[in-house]
Amino acid sequence: MLAAVGAPDMDALFDAVPPDFLLHSIPGLSSHQSEIAVERAMGALASRNMPAGSVPFFAGCGAYKHHVPASVDHLIQRSEFMTAYTPYQPEIAQGTLQYLFEFQTQVALLTGMEVANASMYDGSTAAAEAVFMANRVTKRNKAVLSGGLHPHYRSVIETLAHYAENEVVALPPKPEQERPEQDFAGVIDDETSCVVVQLPGVFGGVRDLTPLAELAHSHGALLVVVVTEAVSFGALRSPGSMGADIVAAEGQSIGNGLNFGGPYLGLFATREKFLRQMPGRLCGQTVDEAGRRGFVLTLATREQHIRRDKATSNICTNSGLCALAFTVHMTLLGEAGLRKLARINHANAVLLAEALGKVPGVELVTPQFFNEFTIRVPRNGADVIDALVDEGVIGGVPAARLFPRDGDLDNLIIVAATEMTAPADRAAYASALRKVLT
């Protein structure tokens, strides 16, 4: 390899780095340690963390602390499902194909769409794939992003669009947004391929998207709805019933723990008429020569299955184990269980908002929400969060962490409550916030 690039040695590969920035040894580390010593050192380092389950926890913004039944972990380890994550050979991957078929059915029902694929890498890349798909369907290359879209999702879309030479117009964040279609008026035109909006929004707000869908469709554009909190499907109208053309979601909330940021899984659903432009793969049900029920890979449009120039996606990693956990948990819940879980989430959030609203100086910014809302505090939100940590409470996500260049949001904190939020947790938060703001 060195000969191929014309470099005499490894150091020559870094000759563009100024000498003052090169390290000849790793500072602060000895040349070697025993295994026991390393375990002790790493254990001491890990003990400095504040795990989500050890203190009252109210962080969300796309990663939510929900209860995962012990049966989920048990069932995903059964041998029937312990096959390759991508079922290339259906005759030896019936367990994988069957749960992916069930997974697709669940996602289609949840989103109110006609067809769903066999999962994707995560919610943010699924959102980017939705934009690319809309570009292919409409033969346009301009996407308009809502100010209520999670900025990490926006960044993924912008990064991939940049290298595909597509145009992205991102509206500024508006935590007190009342009617999203008003913000899009004058921005959507006949060159727009899609409008991307999140529900609930990154600040927690929920809205009827029907007028926005009508506005987008009047210009020949598609409506892409992003969902970061999958439990909300149990309480809110489905995106499909409000006119969505593509739904891209993060499925972590169901069956998958926080896990310090991953792995997660992307949900992707669309209208049947757009099936051929959908990224990823589609599992189908069939019968064999003896008439027995079986499952096959019906549609595969990724670069590993067909010619790269014909593929609809190059990043549609299946996240199969996470998809299996999602399917097992959804099966255990059922429709009634999911609706009950969603009601508990909403009720806990309402009680939390009422408790925090009684703290002097705290203002509720989000009038309508599911299980996440935004509050305004009288001083910098990031400083308040740090002070709450000292009181043993993880009080949410400061908006300044997500929007570091929007100074108007510095006093905002995004707060989430789930079924894991106990009455004692709410009381501890309100008490600690009162103390911190005094």
Domain membership flag for residue 360:
yes
Q: Residue 402 is part of a domain; what is its CATH number?
A: 3.90.1150.10
The Cβ of residue 32 has, within 10 Å, a number of other Cβ atoms equal to: 7
Query: For residue 413, what are the β-bridge partners?
Result: 375, 398
Range of the domain at 375: 335-437
**Is residue 260 located within the same domain as residue 297?**
yes
* Residue-level pLDDT at 53: 83
Domain membership flag for residue 41:
no
Handedness of CA 316, 321, 322, 328 (dihedral sign): positive
**Is residue 347 located within the same domain as residue 212?**
no
Please check the confidence at residue 304 and state whether its pLDDT lies above 60.
no
**Is residue 144 located within the same domain as residue 291?**
yes
Domain membership flag for residue 163:
yes
Please check the confidence at residue 84 and state whether its pLDDT lies above 60.
no
Q: Among residues 270, 262, 255, which one has the least CA distance to residue 112?
A: 270
Handedness of CA 25, 29, 34, 39 (dihedral sign): negative
**Is residue 325 located within the same domain as residue 343?**
no
Please check the confidence at residue 79 and state whether its pLDDT lies above 90.
no
Whether this model's pTM surpasses 0.85: yes
Q: Among residues 150, 338, 326, which one has the least CA distance to residue 251?
A: 326
Give, in order, the Cα–Cα distances in Å from 296 to each of 55, 101, 211, 289.
46, 9, 39, 14
| Residues sharing a CB contact under 8 Å with residue 199, sequence separation 6 or more, in sequence order | 206, 207, 209, 225, 226, 227, 232, 236, 239
Share of the chain above pLDDT 70, in %: 94
**Is residue 162 located within the same domain as residue 109?**
yes
Token reading at 127:
């959102």
Pick from 11-15, 146-150, 363-367: least confident: 11-15
Domain membership flag for residue 275:
yes
**Is residue 246 located within the same domain as residue 366?**
no
**Is residue 158 located within the same domain as residue 279?**
yes
* Residue-level pLDDT at 178: 57
Relative to beta strand 266-270, strand 115-116 is: antiparallel
Q: What is the mean pLDDT of residues 363-392?
A: 96
Domain membership flag for residue 110:
yes
**Is residue 240 located within the same domain as residue 344?**
no
Please tell me which of 79-83, 104-108, 311-315 the model is most confident about, judged by mean pLDDT: 104-108
When the pLDDT of each residue in the chain is averaged and rounded to a whole number, the result is 92
**Is residue 250 located within the same domain as residue 324?**
yes
8 A C-beta contact, residue 226 and residue 199: yes
**Is residue 184 located within the same domain as residue 223?**
yes
H/E stretch holding 294 reads strand 293-300
Please check the confidence at residue 177 and state whether its pLDDT lies above 80.
no
- Up-side HSE of residue 121: CA atoms within 13 Å toward CB? 15
Question: Which one of 330, 355, 381 terminates a domain?
Answer: 330
pLDDT in tens, 241-267: 999 999 999 999 999 999 877 889 999
Higher pLDDT pick, 77 / 107: 107
Distance CA 198, CA 227 (A): 6
Please check the confidence at residue 382 and state whether its pLDDT lies above 70.
yes
pLDDT in tens, 22-35: 887 777 777 788 99
Q: What is the mean pLDDT of residues 285-293?
A: 92
Task: Provide the number of structural domains found in the chain.
Answer: 2
Q: Residue 156 is part of a domain; what is its CATH number?
A: 3.40.640.10
Q: What is the mean pLDDT of residues 216-237?
A: 98
Question: Which one of 313, 330, 347 terminates a domain?
Answer: 330
Higher pLDDT pick, 36 / 30: 36
**Is residue 343 located within the same domain as residue 326?**
no
**Is residue 307 located within the same domain as residue 273?**
yes
Domain membership flag for residue 3:
no
* Residue-level pLDDT at 316: 63
Q: Is residue 385 exposed (0-12), middle (13-18) or buried (19+ Cβ within 10 Å)?
A: buried
Q: What is the mean pLDDT of residues 95-107?
A: 93
Question: Which one of 304, 330, 356 terminates a domain?
Answer: 330
pLDDT in tens, 37-73: 999 999 999 998 888 888 999 999 999 999 999 999 9
H/E stretch holding 45 reads helix 35-46
On the question of a cis peptide bond just before residue 173, with omega within 30 degrees of 0, the verdict is: no
* Residue-level pLDDT at 87: 65
Domain membership flag for residue 414:
yes
Domain membership flag for residue 40:
no
The Cβ of residue 317 has, within 10 Å, a number of other Cβ atoms equal to: 19
Q: What is the mean pLDDT of residues 356-364?
A: 97
Pick from 89-93, 181-185, 255-259: least confident: 89-93
Banded model confidence at residue 318, pLDDT cuts 50, 70, 90 = confident
